[in-house]
Structures are given as C-alpha cells and as structure tokens.
C-alpha cells in the first residue's frame, strides 16, 4: 500500500483529477491519501469531495486523512511514497494582483505572468521558501518519497529542488501531452495513429522537433505551409498566432499556448507597436481574468464537487501513471522537467538548467532520455528564459537583491520595454510590497 500526500489539497478540481485517477488505478486503489492545506474551508471541501469519491468509485478502499496548517505538515508527509505539489503561494489576492498592477505602473503589460518575466520571477521568489520547508520536512519524515511538482514557475521551482535539496523530484506540466494533435486538428491536417513526435526544450517552451504520421510521412512540411497560410489570413476566432509565427520565423512549434508565449520574448507585446496586440490576438491581463472567472465558477459549481454523488473518469494527468509505473514496474513515458546535469540531456543548454525531455518511468524512478543538440535558434530562444530562471534561483538562494534586478534586466520582455533604472525601481516596489505582506524573506 502506498501513501500519497497532496500538498495544496484545497485546489479541489485538480485534487479530484489526480486523486480520482489514483482511485481508478488498481495498483493504487488501497493507498493512504493525506490531504494538506493551510486553508480550513478549502481543505474541508476537498476532504468531503475525496471521501465521497473514494466511496463512489473505489468502494472505500483508500484511507483518506486531512491535515491543516504548518503544525500538521510533517504528519501529512510522514511515510509518504509520493508527494503531489499543487500550491499557489499568495493566491490571486493579494499576490497575483501585485504581480500585474505594479508592473503596469511602469508600462509593462503581461498575459499570464506565472512562468518567466517579472511576474514569474516574483512568483518563484515567494514559492521557493515554501518548497524549501517542504523539502526539509520530507528529508526528515519521508526521505525516499518522490515529489511530483505541478506548481509554476515550473523550471525555477523544479530547478531549485533538484539543485539545492536532497529530494527526488520531477516537474510535471500538461503542455507536452496536449501539443501535437491539437496543432494538427487546428491546421486541418488529417493524421493517422500512431503519430511519432519528439519534444525537447524547457517548460512552456519545449519544441516539437519531429512529427511523423502513422504511415511514416513527415508532417512538418505541411504544418509549415498551413501555418503561413493562416498567419496571412487568420480565421475569425483563431487564437494560436504567436506559436504559428514561431513556426514561420524559427521553423518549429512549441508546447505552451500563444497567450503564454506572447510574453516570453521581445517580439509581440511592445508599447511602440500597439497594433501587434490586435494582429496576434494577444489577451493582455488574461490570468487575472481567469482567476476571477475561476473563483466565480467555483462558487457556482461547488455543489457539483462537494456532494455525495461526485464521480470521475481517469484523466491524462501524469501523476497516477507515474505512481503506477513505479509501483508495478510497468514502464511509462512522460515529458518531465529534470536537471540537465553535465549537459547530458540537451548538450547545447547549460548543465544547471531545468530541461523538459522525454523520461522513462518504472520502479527505478524517473530516467530522462538524452536528446541531440537543439537547432541553434531554438537553443537561443530557450536561453533567453533560462538566464532569468538561473538568476532567480540564485536570488532565492543568496537573498541578494542584485540577482533579482539582473533576472529582470535579462528578461526579454522587461528589457525590450523598460530602462534599467525603471526595471530596478519596479523590482524595488515589488520587493517592498511582497516583504510588507510577509511573502518574501528579507533581501539585502
């Protein structure tokens, strides 16, 4: 019997997906499931939901416990085999609001702000200390557990955990398994399974390097042709124009959405060229809108989850498949975020970088698969983000403000819009606001 601890169990919909998947997996159905959160209301709602789910789809086989607050965190973790991390430090209010509103005062607009850029930097800085506490507790009470991280900014958090803690960990994202087939469908390309794909890069900027149809045909020539046709005359409602522009200019499609990638570079969100926002249909302030809508929807739909009738169908989330592979030794392939130690996985990216590559999972754990060097233009694009990731981790470890400034100065979006003085002043305002709210330790 395995023990699975879910950190941030108040994320009810995601907890339902992961833990519902666990209950529908024969090798995991009798697990002990420990729910942990710091919000008593959200924890109780998730406990009611998961308990009902256990009864409805699992005949009560699992043992479900709840653990509230930092003082009970070690009990939640004690003896765990798997720890799933899905926390958001600071939530929408106040921290996400801060991440958007202060940069706006300097003329810096964002779309999602959870991966890189100034929003991603500060999300990492307030989350790394919490993950450090998790790791310290795990090293004491479940040192052999696997830490399955779903929290953003993925590369910064997974990179920190892999370099500065003794915990076995892999970063997991939805974007790899939802990349190729939606692209083919959106371009109107008929395909035949099994489609062979190869993806490598970094989280949210992994590159679709090969797409081979089930009949052996290389689909990329047709992908490139149709991408250019759509860019020249976009259909009404088509929202993936940024990534199609990547295909036209850099030759390859990337894993994460256009609204994300619009802010990962210096090309699209530019005060001097406001027409680009309309041309590429870029949804500025998208993440705050999503947060507001999600909160409202949860208030309306809570009764559908916190109910005796809740049920579940197994999802495509990696977590249960990873646990199953490790417990049964039946191999499974994932796209995982792992350290590029000794340049062993992607040779033309830094050894300290957290890269996203295919990984084999079995009883031996997560085993990353080495890739050829990326095309030089793709490695260069990744490096613009890796620079920010590595300096943000350095800031979190050293507590030096200068590394926060340097991370922001090297961010392509910040640097293309603001002067050095404005970047430093913006960082100072964000540091002051976060420190005042207790979300950051003291920096010097």
Catalytic amino acids? 174
Counting DSSP H helices and E strands in the chain, the numbers are: 17, 12
- Distance (Å, rounded) from C-alpha 87 to C-alpha 302? 19
Please tell me the number of Cα atoms within 13 Å of 441 on its side-chain side.
14
Burial 201-231 (b: 16+ CB within 10 A, else e): bbbbbbbbbebbbeeeeebbebbbebbeebb
Tokens of 431: 């540091």
Using alpha carbons, select from 282, 251, 273, 228 the residue that is nearest to residue 376.
251
CB 87 within 8 A of CB 151: yes
- Distance (Å, rounded) from C-alpha 165 to C-alpha 88? 20
Tokens of 280: 């590429």
Using alpha carbons, select from 85, 95, 166, 163 the residue that is nearest to residue 125.
95
- Distance (Å, rounded) from C-alpha 248 to C-alpha 55? 52
DSSP 389-416: HHHHHHHHHH--HHHHHHHHHHSHHHHH
CB 157 within 8 A of CB 337: no
Using alpha carbons, select from 186, 175, 37, 165 the residue that is nearest to residue 115.
175
- Distance (Å, rounded) from C-alpha 89 to C-alpha 113? 14
3-class secondary-structure state, position 301? helix
Q: What share of the chain is helix, strand, coil (3-state, %, to 5)?
A: 50, 15, 35
């Amino acid at each position: 019997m395995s023990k699975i601890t879910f950190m941030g169990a108040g994320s009810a919909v995601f907890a339902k997906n992961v833990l519902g998947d666990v209950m529908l997996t024969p090798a995991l159905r009798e697990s002990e499931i420990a729910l942990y959160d710091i919000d008593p209301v959200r924890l109780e709602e998730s406990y009611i939901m998961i308990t009902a789910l256990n009864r409805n789809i699992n005949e009560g086989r699992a043992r479900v416990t709840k653990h509230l607050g930092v003082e009970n965190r070690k009990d939640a973790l004690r003896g765990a085999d798997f720890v799933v991390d899905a926390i958001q430090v600071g939530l929408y209010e106040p921290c996400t609001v801060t991440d958007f509103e202060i940069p706006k005062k300097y003329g810096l607009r964002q779309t999602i702000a959870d991966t890189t850029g100034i929003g991603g930097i500060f999300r990492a800085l307030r989350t790394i200390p919490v993950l450090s506490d998790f790791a310290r507790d795990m090293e004491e009470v479940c040192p052999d557990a696997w830490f399955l991280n779903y929290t953003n900014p993925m590369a910064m958090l997974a990179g920190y955990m892999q370099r500065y803690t003794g915990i076995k960990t892999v970063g997991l994202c939805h974007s790899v398994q939802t990349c190729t087939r939606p692209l083919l469908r959106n371009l109107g390309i008929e395909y035949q399974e099994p489609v062979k794909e190869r993806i490598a890069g970094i989280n949210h900027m992994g590159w679709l390097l090969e797409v081979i149809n089930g009949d052996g045909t290389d689909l990329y020539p047709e992908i490139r042709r149709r991408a250019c046709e759509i860019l020249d005359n976009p259909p009404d409602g088509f929202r993936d124009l940024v990534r199609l522009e990547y295909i036209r200019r850099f030759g390859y499609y990337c894993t994460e959405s256009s609204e994300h990638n619009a802010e990962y570079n210096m090309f699209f969100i530019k005060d001097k060229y406001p027409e680009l926002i309309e041309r590429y249909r870029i949804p500025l302030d998208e993440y705050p809108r999503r947060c507001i809508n999600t909160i409202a929807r949860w208030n309306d739909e809570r009764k559908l989850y916190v109910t005796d009738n809740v049920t579940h169908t197994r999802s495509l989330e990696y977590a249960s498949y990873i646990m199953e592979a490790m417990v049964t030794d039946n191999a499974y392939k994932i796209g995982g975020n792992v350290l590029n130690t000794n340049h062993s996985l992607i040779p033309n990216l830094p050894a300290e970088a957290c890269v996203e590559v295919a990984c084999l999972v079995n009883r031996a754990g997560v085993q990353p698969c080495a890739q050829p060097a990326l095309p030089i233009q793709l490695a260069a694009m990744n490096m613009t983000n890796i620079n920010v990731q590595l300096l943000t981790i350095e800031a979190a470890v050293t507590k030096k403000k200068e590394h926060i400034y340097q991370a922001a100065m090297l961010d392509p979006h910040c640097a293309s819009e603001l002067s050095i003085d404005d970047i430093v002043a913006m960082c100072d305002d964000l540091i002051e606001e976060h420190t005042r709210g207790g979300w950051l330790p003291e920096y010097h």
